[in-house]
Amino acid sequence: MSAAESAPERELTDDEKHLAKLGYSQELSRSWSSFSNFAISFSIISILAGCFTTFGQAWNNGGPIAISWGWPIISAFILIIGFTLSELVSAYPTSGGIYWWAAKLGGPAAGFFTGWLNLIGLLAVTASVAYGAATFLDLTISTISTSWADGYSLTRVFLLFVAILVLASVLNIFSGHLLAVINNISVWWHVAGAAIVILVLIIVPPTHQSFDFVFTERINNSGFSSGAYWFLVLPLGFLLTQYTITGFDASAHLSEETQGAAEGAAKGIWRSIFYSAVGGYVLLLAFLFAVQDPQGVSDGFGAVDVIFGQALPDGWHFLILLISTAGQLFCTTACLTSASRMTFAFSRDGAIPGSKWLSTVNKTTKIPANAVVFVAVIGAIITLPALKSIGGVPIAFYAVVSVAVIGLYLSFMIPIYLRWRIGDAFEEGTWTNGQKYKWMNLLAVAEIAIISVYFILPFTPAGVPFSDEFAWSSVNYAPVLTIGTLIVLAIWWNVSAKKWFTGPKNTIDEAVVKAFDD
């Protein structure tokens, strides 16, 4: 019996009715609570991941003020972005989330480009988080094993990275309910773990930096002249905040598995941003106050590890790294969940080659296992350049981070703008910004446009084309990937995709959809 024939024969829940109104039958298991929905976005933001792995980017590009002032200011802009997305997910709580909204408000072309930008961003953020987890796992073991530390190599880190992707894949495929439990645990690990790290850094270090240092000190290790500090160097340091507080669209991608999604997913987005912003700020201030020798904190990728080595005995150093590594493992698992649901939804609408295989849902677990494997394999492939380094720092890491930020935020910008353009004709859900959307959405679009330009700029003078210092090894390949992808998508759309991609496809009979509209 088809879904269309069986639907009227039983009483649907409010969530199933809302989903049916949007054109979909309930294929995934709706076993997530509102707290679990919040938990996955909170886990993906993961202040135990981004604050640790990209601290060096802000330290070398701006110094303490890029963190003490940059974090709260950029966080406020991101919270506004979150509010605009919360309103959208309340109206359209589907796994496709971002691209579904764009298609609904702007047509198939808007949905196609938004979907691919979002998918690319999710693939990149999953890869970057897993690689960061591998690096910190390696650092953690190195603090208690001299032989392990002496045997360091990028190949070893990459193998750990692959092992982490395999573990996260197994956890994702096993059970949807297990994932919800893991994310619930992750919230408390992040809260308790961050609190322990902060207390250790307050109590244990022999000395602390002054307020003057934390809130006024400027550092420019970028290689660019001091004259470029305010308009180029400092904004590059904001990548720390913009990268850490991302991935909160997971609440939308898991909305088809969330009970009371129209309200729960909306709150999941903005609450995960707000609590992460507050907790992350306190954590980062603890890092800055704990610095013993500012001149020694120059290793971009392992900057926080240098700070811990300066300020703490080996035992406390190990504990902090262990807490962070576990948080990053939670984050990797959650990222893989979100990316696989986006892959499933986009494939369900026929937008990805191999869509039939990628949109298959396991009949027993009701999990898109093929999509999980796809995300993990692609993540490993795009991170292969991390096998090479400059001065010990993998050349791929910050570029992959930039791609993640640009891809995700550009995908957010399109439906945010389209919602503003449609104005009061927008059919609101139960959670709304009211008339504040008129300035919120425009401000969100402006912030995303500005940061997207900055994060495709060279990170060092050696990455500036046609300069005397230029070296291909220093090039930020984020613009190559981003712009190149947009060109490929534009060609694909005009030559082929516009002929067959008509936007989201209904998985239930049109008559059922129309019945819910009546």
**What is the distance between the alpha carbons of residues 143 and 324, in angstroms, rounded to a whole number?**
14
**What is the distance between the alpha carbons of residues 71 and 80, in angstroms, rounded to a whole number?**
14
Strand 393-394 to 389-390 pairing: antiparallel
Q: What is the DSSP string of 164-216?
A: HHHHHHHHHHH-HHHHHHHHHHHHHHHHHHHHHHHHHHHHSSS----HHHHHH
pTM, 2 dp: 0.87
Q: What are phi and psi of 219, to 5 degrees?
A: -135, 135
**What is the distance between the alpha carbons of residues 436 and 337, in angstroms, rounded to a whole number?**
32
pLDDT the model gives residue 178: 76
pLDDT the model gives residue 210: 96
Cβ neighbourhood burial of 37 (10 Å; 0-12, 13-18, 19+): buried
Place of tokens 């096993």: 174
Contact status, residue 383 vs residue 403, Cβ threshold 8 Å: no
pLDDT the model gives residue 406: 87
Contact status, residue 258 vs residue 32, Cβ threshold 8 Å: yes
- Tell me the one-letter amino acid at 194: A
pLDDT the model gives residue 301: 62
Place of tokens 């507080």: 245
Following CA atoms 15, 21, 22, 27 in sequence, which dihedral angle do they give, to the nearest 10 degrees?
Answer: 50
Which H helix or E strand runs over 390?
A: strand 389-390
Q: What is the DSSP letter of 424?
A: G
Strand 61-62 to 393-394 pairing: unpaired
pLDDT the model gives residue 395: 56
Query: Residue 183's CB: how many other CB atoms inside 10 A?
Result: 26
pLDDT-flagged residues of the chain (< 50): 1-4, 6-8, 511-513, 516
Q: Homologous superfamily of 30-496 in CATH?
A: Amino acid/polyamine transporter I (1.20.1740.10)
pLDDT the model gives residue 53: 84
What are the sequence ranges of the domains in the chain? 30-496
pLDDT the model gives residue 289: 97
